[in-house]
Structure 1
């Protein structure tokens, strides 16, 4: 399993940050390697089910996300299946006059040999991607205020 986690402070309230992240298409706007979000379906409790393509080191990985926790304005959690198996957890909490957002991704790499040999490289790649995603999210939300 590979886990990457980062925290960012954003100068908007948790409700605004939660609402922005509640639209899966917005994730594609701020996540450089998320090349496609499609077939988004709303579930009765406000959660979502969708298909996605994530580019990792030039390889497109298709999968499905099913939101398992939809708790406004505090948390989005998604179960990930497909080429990558795992979970994405986004926690939001009020902090000063804004939001402290923690994004954690945990997943298995495809293929046993590839997983062990590539894990350190993939971890660094995804840590950089996550930092860029959170910087983009912070910029997007703060500029739209």
Structure 2
């Protein structure tokens, strides 16, 4: 029994394309012309004028140029490369070492400085901090 072969999708596509009549042609595109520059327009030589380069005065300026996000970053600046140093004694128990470390952190004011430099401090936290700082200053007198 012979069956009729169904036409392939490709042959159907080609047949539909060839049946299109291209009798209607599109009008020719309009020629575009650029406007003529005015007589006092800057020349290409004046457009390439570069502003003078100013040298960076400090490492902070260089960091601001290289990483502009760090300009407003919440960074801590201390006098030395490390905030504090606790030297471990020979055969010193861990509890004693942790106690010395906590005292040094408190004396250096690292936790207070971190809290002070947080991105946002509420008015209530600011008043509490200022009261504590004033009390601390008065105790040291």
TM-score interval, normalised by the smaller of the two chains: under 0.3
> Which has the larger share of helix?
2
> Which has the larger share of strand?
1
Scaled by the length of structure 2, the TM-score of the pair is: 0.22
Q: Which of structures 1 and 2 has the bigger CA Rg? A: 2
